[in-house]
Amino acid sequence: MHFQRARPEDPEINLIPLIDVLLVVLIFLMITTTYAKYTELKINLPTANAPRAQTYPHEIVVTIAADGTCAVDHAVLARHDVGALAAALARAAHGRADTMVVISADAQSTQQSVVNAMEAARLAGLSRLTFATQRTR
């Protein structure tokens, strides 16, 4: 009599439950992730020992990064010249001459980029300027 041993089948990994779990995880990550567009420049303001800043009813914030990139009211400008900055300031002012221009320049930004922002404000017809700083600790 010849008895054959029962050969167990080769074990195989069932991929369908693994794919189901990964799909649920992927959907969860897609729903809970916030997609924020990079709209502001990261700057480190220079420090000063000054009183608390005033708020103005009509103000335009000009942000200047260390590399010279400018943003007007959180909208980054594609060109870095004075004309483009002046045009953006004129659009943001909506024809109001009493608008305050707040220049927030990075502590490492060049003096020329700050002067360009001041010149652009003059070209846009905005004569009220101030500078933003952070308090010394």
Q: Which domains does the chain have, with CATH numbers?
A: 47-135 (3.30.420)
Contacts of 113 (CB under 8 A, 6+ apart): 64, 68, 70, 105
At 54 the pLDDT is: 63
Give the pLDDT confidence score for residue 38 in this predicted structure. Answer: 46
pLDDT value at residue 77 = 87
Rg (CA), the chain: 29
Nearest 5°: the CA angle 31, 34, 36 is 150
pLDDT value, residue 94 = 85
Res 1: pLDDT:
63
* Rounded distance between C-alpha atoms, residue 115 and residue 67, angstroms: 15
Average pLDDT per block of 10 residues along the chain, 137 residues long: 68 87 91 64 65 71 88 84 90 84 88 90 89 72
User: Which of these, 80, 84, 123, lies nearest to 101 by C-alpha position?
Assistant: 123
Q: Kindly state the tokens that stand for 98.
A: 């009493």
